[in-house]
A = this chain, B = another copy of it.
Amino acid sequence: MSGQRRTAPGVELLSIGNELLLGETVDTNATWIAARLASEGIAVLRKTTVGDDVALIRDALAAGLRRCGTVICTGGLGPTPDDLTRHALAELYARRLVVDDAWLDVLRARYARRGMTMPAINRVQAEHPAGATLLPNARGTAPGMALADQERGLTILLPGVPSEMRGLLEAEVLPLLRERLRPAARFESRVIRTAGISEAALAERIADIAGDVAPLSLAFLPQGTGVDLRLTFAGSSAAAGDAVRSEAGSVLLDRAVARLSERLGHDVFALEPVDLAAVVGGMLRERGMTLAVAESCTGGLVAKRLTDAAGASDYVRAGFVTYSNDAKRDMLGVAETTLAAHGAVSEACAREMAEGARRAARADAAMAITGVAGPGGGSAEKPVGTVWMAVALESVTHVRHVIFPGDRSEVRERSAQAALDMLRRALAGTLHG
């Protein structure tokens, strides 16, 4: 299936849907595919989004194929009339649409097993351009499809429902791509995740050694809640010696990651693309410790992030969302006098929340967050963004105070990250003051 037009090593992604252009839906599919392909060393060279229009889809597919020979396209395979991707594919490759009777039987049998008759509307989901390979979808009614010729290259269509897209990519698409894309298309990258240090400060800390990473490339990725560093080794497109070069790339990456992360010390929380909450969870599990979380302004965000990880029940004993003063008093035992004298956004309240949560949940450690997320509730003394965080661990309760920039959602995200980072440093024994 190698096409003469394949000029760049990698793939392009094409997302279909007016909802994406209207901002109604975040395109998490494209992000997920990109991350999954990156982990296989397959480069995504471009992402494009167009609306539900046959000509636009056809032309965007054609342009992507001309540039790199392989396009993965998501969306527009549903049963309703605004699902046009299969028509665009048929036009581009000049094929007619045919019905796959075997898939129709699969669909009818699935409905029958649930005691139902297949709605007539689903019949179009067995249609595909003649010559395309149907990729069976175990989780939904829209099959994926793959179509390739010498002139145009390979197009893969996947449904837009995330779980269906993921299942098909793993089972059907990755094996195809691993075979198709020669090692020349491969690259390798590593990430160094930091917390508690600004982009400019981070750049200055490593300024004298950043140039030494060549021929690797180094990128700074500010995340709003911290800064990631990414080191990339790009595979050469010369056919000879790729395997050797790729091995040398791994060694260079290992060396550069070790040197940079040594310089950055405790500000590094991970050498892989993993959430800080998962890192903290791993540290708790390693130490056999349990945690209680008391949240006011973050409203459950920290507990949600900690429990994103399977098996979090091993260390998350309990979370308290104490949005009101009454709840802080009743659930955590914050003193009425503390609330009256200092208010809920105060050092004393944060401290009592953490200690109360630890006591109430009979946990080994606890963290607490109380602040003004905005947009209302700010004052001259406690402007929007003012947040107090506390970590109770062993005999010490650490308390910290920050005024975070940003809107309500950003203040909440940054508070959650900063509090988790406090706990990380406390567990590592590197939190002072």
A319 to B293 alpha-carbon distance, docked (Å):
11
**With known contacts A45-B51, A46-B48, A323–B299 Cβ distance under 8 A:** no
The residue in chain B whose Cβ has the minimal distance to the Cβ of A416 is: B304
Are A320 and B317 in contact, CB atoms less than 8 angstroms apart?
no
Given known A163-B406, A200-B122, A299-B312, contact A82–B361 (CB-CB < 8 A): no
Chain B: CB-nearest residue to A49: B47
| Nearest B residue to A411, CB-CB | B163
Contact A20 B47 (CB under 8 A): yes
Are A203's CB and B302's CB within 8 A? Answer: no
Given known A224-B161, A323-B307, A361-B327, contact A199–B25 (CB-CB < 8 A): no
Residue of B nearest to A410 (CB): B163
Interface string of A305-329 (1 = CB under 8 A from B): 0111011110011111111101100
Docked Cα-Cα span, A19 to B44, in Å, equals 11
Shortest beta-carbon distance from A316 to chain B in Å: 5
User: A386: shortest Cβ distance to chain B, in Å?
Assistant: 15
A299 touches which one: B200, B232, B307 (CB < 8 A)? Answer: B307
* Nearest CB in chain B to that of A191: its residue: B24
Shortest A315–chain B CB gap in Å is: 9
A364 located at the interface, meaning its Cβ lies under 8 Å from any Cβ of chain B in the complex = no
Give the docked Cα–Cα distance between A21 and B79 (Å).
30
- Complex contact A24–B307 (CB within 8 A): no
Query: In the complex, which residue of chain B has the Cβ closest to the Cβ of A46?
Result: B50
The smallest beta-carbon distance between A243 and chain B, in angstroms, is 23
Contact yes or no, A35 B51, CB < 8 A: no
CA distance A298 to B303 in the complex (A): 9
Q: Which residues in chain A, 16-39, are within 8 Å of chain B measured between CB atoms?
A: 17-28, 30-38
Query: A282 at interface (Cβ–Cβ under 8 A)?
Result: no
Complex Cα distance A161/B406, Å? 10
A162, B35: Cα distance in complex, Å: 21
Chain B interface: which of A129-137, A178-186, A213-221, A250-258?
A213-221
A-B contact pairs, 22 of them (CB 8 A): A18-B230, A21-B47, A22-B34, A22-B35, A22-B189, A24-B35, A25-B31, A47-B47, A79-B199, A80-B203, A121-B200, A161-B222, A298-B307, A299-B319, A300-B300, A303-B303, A317-B324, A317-B326, A318-B321, A319-B323, A330-B360, A331-B360
Nearest first, the 10 A-B pairs at minimum CB distance are A299-B307, A23-B35, A319-B321, A300-B303, A23-B34, A300-B300, A300-B304, A47-B49, A318-B327, A303-B321
Taking beta carbons and an 8 Å cutoff, which residues of A are in contact with B?
17-28, 30-38, 43-52, 56, 60, 78-80, 82, 119, 121-122, 139, 160-163, 166, 189, 191, 199-200, 203-204, 207, 217-224, 228, 230, 232, 273, 293, 295, 298-304, 306-308, 310-313, 316-324, 326-327, 330-331, 360-362, 373-376, 405-410
Given contacts A122-B200, A317-B323, 8 further A-B contacts (CB under 8 A): A17-B221, A18-B232, A22-B230, A47-B49, A82-B220, A121-B204, A317-B324, A317-B327
